[in-house]
Structure 1
Amino acid sequence: MNGGGVRFRVDLAADRSSLQWGDVFTPARALAYDLIRGQDPELAEELHERGYAGSPLRPLGISAPQFRGAPKSRGVYATSADGSLWLGSPVPRVASALLAGIAGRQTLRWASLRLTLRGVQLEPTPDHQAGEAVFSTRTPVLLKWEDRYIHPDHPHFAERLSHNLRHKADLLGLPADNDVDVLSAGPPRKFLVQRAPRHGSTAEVHIRANPALLDAVYDWGLGLGTNQGFGWIR
């Protein structure tokens, strides 16, 4: 927790052994807004309909659930009784609504999965006072160039990520200057969100920026679609 922002891990157990690939990310946004709606209906409506504070950006992050010890199954996303998902926001009002919303739940619904909560753990913010950080993502980073999704090996990837960071800084009233270097990337992946394709890759990036912006990004995520489960930072 830092500057009013929060990120936290929700440990959970799935009641089934697999999930359809088309459902890995699709439920993320609805779940986040549902948690917020139970605490702050006006905020949930604003985020869903318009964005936040006059900006189209939604300052919240959520990951798709990830499972340990799940045997790989061809054609489906394997699950287990030992899983986690993560949520966070750099905005105190959003962060507190998410945390309060999850505190009142014993189970969550993720498409066909019933997820039983086993615990909630706040995650501390690393020390970013040096003005630089290496961020590695759990879920693919979404970025676009000329209306097409691009991967970390694209020549404009670092520039588009820097541009996205400046937009986030402007919304939060933070210094926007930053410098991005791509260190490594996972393989290109395609996922569906309500049957619409999303193309991205996990990435490891080095970012130089104001410490407060690095703190905020750690709670928010990298790139586009963070409220849909993408760009969540380890």
Structure 2
Amino acid sequence: MTTRLVQISMKATDKSALGRFWADALGWTVTGDTPDETDVQPEGVTYPSPEAVRIDVLTVPVPKTVKNRVHLDLATTSTAHQAELVARLRDLGATPADVGQGDVPWTVLADPEGNEFCVLEPREIYRDTGPVAAVVVDCADPHAMARFWGEATDWTVHEVTDGHARLRSARAAGPYLEFISTPDVKTGLNRVHLDIRPYPGDDRAAEADRLRALGATDLDLGQGDVPWTVLADPEGNEFCVLTPL
């Protein structure tokens, strides 16, 4: 029994507009836009797939107020591509963001709802990930996070240091999941969180029990009777265990 990262969920005051932004930003498609959520994924890719981590945008009435602990890093193939992508994203509504990055070779932007993301300079490691190089999570202990998420999912741990950990689908496809050491303390609920899904034939409740044994804890966000389980990882980051698919 195991599970895998299938999507990230973003909260938004205007989910449809934010979904359209990310579809245009990544060259993906809005595949669903219901009163509850807007789904964005690559055209021609059957969800769930290791080739891409889908974006699921949810409506919340409260605007963003603090720096996100989860963000996307976008891949580029050349310095010219990086500059062109930054310009195109700004035309779509992204704005420059200062998170204390200083003089770095990547560009930090914020989407129309203020969610930070990075447009990376070309890096060989991300040459085959698609437009999303990595889903990045701030943390206090990359070793502990790699240990938990490496056991929680079937993703392979590629690198762990005191400052950084990197995992990727066992199929060596799609983006990386990375944990970056930061002194920032988590406050409130994450505006962007991970969603994981067991494989067909597995049992969600049994999988949730396995994750609790690894160090996850239950969270009551007022979700009521829903077909997913809300947990927190060892550093308190919320995530959802979806029904098997």
Q: TM-score, normalised to structure 2's length?
A: 0.26
Higher relative contact order (CA 8 A, sep 6+): 1
- Greater share of helix residues, 1 or 2? 1
Q: TM-score, normalised to structure 1's length?
A: 0.27
